Structure 1
Amino acid sequence: MRLVQLTVPTGKRETILEALDEREIDYVLTDEDSNRDYTAVVYFPLPDPAVEPVLDELQSVGVDEDAYTVVVDAETVVSRRFEALREEYENGDVESDRISRQELQAEADDLTPTFGVYAIMTVISALVATAGLLLDSPAVVVGSMVIAPLIGPALGASVGTVIDDEELFKESVLYQILGVVLAIAAAAVFAFIVRTANVVPPGLEIDMVSEISERLTPDLLSLVIALGAGVAGIISIATGTSVALVGVMIAAALIPPAAAAGVALAWGQPSAAIGATALVLVNILSVNLAGLVTLWYAGYRPESLFSLGETEQRLRRRIVALGFIVLVFAVFLGAITYASYTTATFEQNANEEVEQVLAAEEFEQYQLLEFEVVMGDDYPFLGPERVIVTIGGPPDATAPELADVLHERINRHTDESVRIEIRYVTIIER
């Protein structure tokens, strides 16, 4: 429920009151004596879905944008006429649950802080995320998402497109670009300082840190996170519910991958940063794409009917462009996913081959102690480089032909030759 406070322009009192009476809207009228161009202030309660059509109608009869209009939450309204009004406008579909176009624009503006605050909070969240990644701490990484101010710009571009507010659109796009650049740069500088100051163990391999490695080689499931965040964010802001948790979800799609890209750059591995950077870009584009489609589906349109056709064309162009770019990135992520799948399949098959060989009668004196597949450094499409097989056996046991057998059997499952390294461990039983 909303309570609307509206200043009545000189000469428009009767017209406005007649419009409210026709819709059977209860109102309270007070005289205005501030010697301006307004004669009164009218107060009237409305159900959420009625705000936009009523304000549009009042604007059409003479209430321009210079008028003083305030829309605030109303906890309780006791009125038979209000209940009838609610039944008229609330029919249980998506459009009846959303806030007005005017409130949506105000919400989008409020969610975007000033650039100074936005830049500082983005840098802080990137630094915290970088520390969490290097510590391999999921809790710290989640904490970095909470303070990231990304939800406003991420959703503002979609709102600006749908309601034909190009200034909001351009500002949001600029904020998103600068946010990504700031996050990656801050993470790279901080990680470089940490590394050179030996705050982390010397020789730390970032691909051995699970919180980092999973973002250096992203897969197609990452798209689900970004698309879900975009839809959930728009639904939250459009229905006037809390967007705090959804903001964390959007930050989850952007801040940790940006920090991972910065860490890879600080470690002198630009190729390792490719996957994480691609993940950041595809996530931010997916959030915008999901936001555009969801807003249009929810029924948001420009204020002026004359700009509706132009806005629709612009919307289609942007959806097609975003969809195409997301598709290209999806193919890229799909290739990474396929490479990960083939590597996992190779590891499983290679392990089974080793077990079958050692189960043969001629090698039954040996037992498999450890099996490891060492990956190459061709990010983001990682593949097996060598296989380390640790075997235990009795003292003075030798089987030089075992290496040849394992090499031949394991390399059946890969297109490129993989080196086989066998380590013997003497086992003495007493």
Structure 2
Amino acid sequence: MLHLRVLSPRDSTERALGVLREHPGATHLVLVRGAAVDPEGDVIEADVAREAADEVLAALCELGIDRDGGITLEQVDTSLSDAADRAERDAPGQAADAVVWEELVARTGEESRLNATFLAFLTISCLLAAAGVITDSAVTIVGAMVVGPEFGPLAALAVGLVRRRGDLVRRAATALGVGFPLAIAAAAALTWVGNRVGLLDARAISGDHQVDFVYQVGPWSLVVAVLAGAAGMLSMTSAKSAALVGVFISVTTVPAAGYIGVAAVLGQWEKVLASAGQLAVNLVGIVVAAAVVLLTRGRAASRTRPLARG
């Protein structure tokens, strides 16, 4: 269940109540007249089945409440109520299969912002990857994968393309386009310092190593990226966030970026190109797979709604 709070202008309150009363997926309806101060109006609260949320939000936005008032959604972890059970039973579809588009746009939009926190996590993850390459430590490489925040902007790119949200696409592309070069530069700086003080030389990445998979791009690189992108978007749209950890340690975006910085400083240009190819294949594969998942789930949801209304 999701908890819905609506700040409604007084002239829209009755119509908003009508939307919630008529929808079988809404329950626990509460009205407090005149409680909203800024923006001024009434406060309406309700619990909504996840599979009904997208339809309810669309109806409320048609009333202009998102412009003149406000709408917020919160996850309800536990609800002990026969009325809530009926709402979930009567709502169209299944909760795990429902896509709440406004929630998804807001979530991916927030995670794709270019800010100091995003740059810090991406830089730290690339530095960890560089350290893993230099020390030939697969465990450190896996740690870098987990720390990397790049899936947020990649998911936002997919959502922006599917929903035709140019602002979301530009924001995500900016975060990736600025973040990865800066993180690669930081990895190169770490390698340069280590080389200058005699901690490593070109032999550090010569010969056979455990971490050579980072730059060995091939068909399976695309397969893994596609599967990870699909799993990641399924996780985000179904609120099963635990699966995201598996996504993070499946793709070699951050390790490839870290390897670029190390190999460039040590003059291993063939490996620089191979790592760049690995990075590109993973980025494209994740975005395409995530977009396909969204298109598929969106079409499935559009087929379900007319059946529910009927």
Report the TM range for the smaller structure's normalisation.
0.7 to 0.9
Aligned residues of 2:2 and 2:47 also touching (Cα < 8 A)? yes
Question: How far off its partner does 1:96 sit?
Answer: 5.7
Q: Where does residue 188 of structure 1 map in the other structure?
A: 188
Please name the residue that 2:102 is paired with.
102
Question: Over the residues paired in the alignment, what is the CA RMSD in angstroms?
Answer: 2.4
Shift of 1:35: 5.4
Q: The residue matched to 1:41 in structure 2 has which SS? A: strand
Larger relative CO (CA 8 A, sep 6+): 1 or 2? 2
Q: Give the whole-Å Cα distance in 2 for the aligned partners of 1:137 and 1:160.
A: 37
TM-score (norm 2): 0.87
SS in 1 for 2:47: strand
Q: Indicate how the Cα distance of structure 1 residues 69 and 300 shifts in structure 2: closer, same or farther if over 3 A, else same.
A: farther
Q: Between the two proteins, what is the percent identity of the paired residues? A: 25
Residue 90 of structure 1, CA deviation: 4.8
Once the two structures are superposed, residues 51-95 of structure 1 have per-residue CA deviations (whole angstroms, 9 ceiling, x without a partner) of 110111122234233422111111333444433332232534xx8
CA distance, structure 2, for counterparts of residue 230 and residue 222 of structure 1: 12
* One-letter amino acid of the structure 2 residue matched with residue 287 of structure 1: I
Distance 2:206 2:37 in 1: 71
Map 1:24-423 to 2 at 5 A: 24=24, 25-26=26-27, 27-34=29-36, 38-92=40-94, 97-112=97-112, 114-200=114-200, 204=203, 206-242=205-241, 244-246=244-246, 248-249=248-249, 252-299=251-298
Decide which structure has the larger Cα Rg and report it. Answer: 1
Given that 2:35 and 2:43 are in contact with CA atoms closer than 8 Å, whether structure 1 keeps it comes out as no
Partner of 2:308: none
- Of stretches 138-147 and 36-45 in structure 1, the one that deviates more from structure 2 is 36-45
Distance change >3 Å, CA 75–CA 269, structure 1 → 2: closer
Letter in 2 for 1:5: R
Kindly provide the amino acid, as one letter, of the partner of residue 194 in structure 1.
Answer: G
Match of 1:421 in 2: none
Q: Which has the higher mean CA deviation after the structures are superposed, 231-240 or 202-211?
A: 202-211
Distance of 1:204 and 1:289 partners within structure 2:
37
Q: Report the Cα offset of residue 190 of structure 1.
A: 1.8
Amino acid at match of 2:289: A
Q: Work out the CA distance in 1 between the residues paired with 2:202 and 2:78.
A: 64
Per the TM alignment, residue 187 of structure 1 is displaced from its structure 2 partner at its CA by 2.1
The 10-residue stretch of structure 1 (261-270 or 55-64) with the greater mean CA deviation from structure 2: 55-64
Flag structure 2 segments of 5+ consecutive residues without an equivalent.
Answer: 301-310
How many Å separate the matches in 1 of 2:37 and 2:260? 60
Q: Distance in 2 between matches of 1:153 and 1:300?
A: 23
- 1:108 to partner: Cα distance: 0.7
Distance change >3 Å, CA 164–CA 59, structure 1 → 2: same
Q: State the TM-score, normalized to the length of structure 1.
A: 0.64
SS in 1 for 2:11: coil
Structure 1 CA distance for aligned equivalents of residues 141 and 40 of structure 2: 54
Q: Which has the larger helix fraction? A: 2
- Letter of the aligned partner of 2:30 in structure 1? V
Give 1:127 shift: 1.2
Label 1:144 to 1:205 Cα distance change in 2 as closer, same or farther (>3 A).
closer
* 2:138/2:211 contact within 8 Å kept: no
Aligned partner letter, 2:15: T
Aligned pairs, how many?
Answer: 297
Q: Is there any run of 5+ residues in structure 1 with no aligned partner, and where?
A: 302-430
What one-letter code is carried by the residue in structure 1 that aligns with 2:75? D
Instruction: Confirm or deny: 8 A CA contact 1:101 1:300 kept in the other structure.
Output: no
1:207 offset after TM fit, Å?
2.9
2: distance between equivalents of 1:191 and 1:76?
50
